[in-house]
């Protein structure tokens, strides 16, 4: 499945949609206005919250927490590497994702065990303000899409 995300969506209290391949709304994302740190709610089309995402304050590295079903489910951390950016999506168990590539141009992969399981690219859509996320069947769609949104936010904060 390929999902469509609008680039640079972030603003106070912003709301936007993530579309599926057929152009239908697959997820809603709502940003919290006037909050300490970034906060987002990822919802299904009916408005039921699937994940709550918050910036972990007072952290050495940019770190975001993904909460699901009322508890901490995963974290997304920007790793410090010489001459390149890299992120980690730390999920329960040994199934962490390493996220590598050219983030500024929306050309990166989610790797698990060295194998690509999701790809982010602007080449999936001709509109210049959108990028696509192709996710392999059986992968955690909510966590991967949440990580994509957070990476956008970290890059926006860096600029």
CATH number for the domain that contains residue 97: 2.40.160.200
Tokens coding 126: 């001709």
What radius of gyration do the chain's Cα atoms show?
A: 15
Give the model's confidence band at 126: pLDDT under 50 very low, under 70 low, under 90 confident, else very high: low
d(C-alpha 9, C-alpha 111), whole Å: 25
Beta-bridge mates of residue 66:
53, 74
Task: Provide φ and ψ at 22, rounded to 5°.
Answer: -90, 5
Task: Provide φ and ψ at 151, rounded to 5°.
Answer: -60, -45
The pLDDT score that the predictor gives to residue 34 is 46
Tokens coding 140: 């955690």
Domain, as residue range, for 110? 2-158
d(C-alpha 62, C-alpha 155), whole Å: 10
Averaged pLDDT, 102-117: 90
The pLDDT score that the predictor gives to residue 157 is 65
DSSP assignment of 84-142 equals: EEEEEEE-STT--EEEEEEGGGTEEEEEETTEEEEEEEGGG-SSTTEEEEEE-TTS-HH
pLDDT (tens digit, 9 = 90+) per residue, 20-60? 989 899 999 887 654 555 688 899 999 999 999 888 776 66
The pLDDT score that the predictor gives to residue 103 is 84
The pLDDT score that the predictor gives to residue 50 is 95
Helix, strand, coil shares of the chain, percent, nearest 5, are 15, 50, 35
The domain tally of the chain equals: 1
Tokens coding 147: 């990580």
């Amino acid at each position: 499945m390929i999902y469509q995300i609008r680039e640079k969506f972030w603003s106070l209290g912003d709301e936007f949609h993530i579309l599926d391949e057929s152009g239908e709304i697959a997820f809603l994302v709502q940003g919290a206005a006037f909050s300490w740190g970034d906060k987002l709610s990822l919802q299904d089309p009916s408005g039921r919250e699937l994940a709550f995402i918050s910036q972990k304050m007072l952290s050495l590295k940019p770190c975001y927490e993904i909460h699901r079903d009322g508890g901490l489910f995963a974290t997304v951390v920007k790793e410090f590497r010489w001459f390149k950016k890299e992120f980690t999506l730390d999920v329960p168990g040994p199934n962490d994702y390493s996220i590598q590539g050219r983030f500024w141009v929306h050309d990166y992969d989610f790797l698990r065990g060295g194998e690509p399981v999701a790809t982010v690219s602007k080449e999936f859509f001709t509109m210049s303000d959108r990028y696509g996320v192709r996710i392999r069947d059986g992968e955690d769609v909510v966590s991967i899409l949440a990580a994509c949104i957070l990476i956008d936010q970290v890059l926006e904060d860096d600029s």
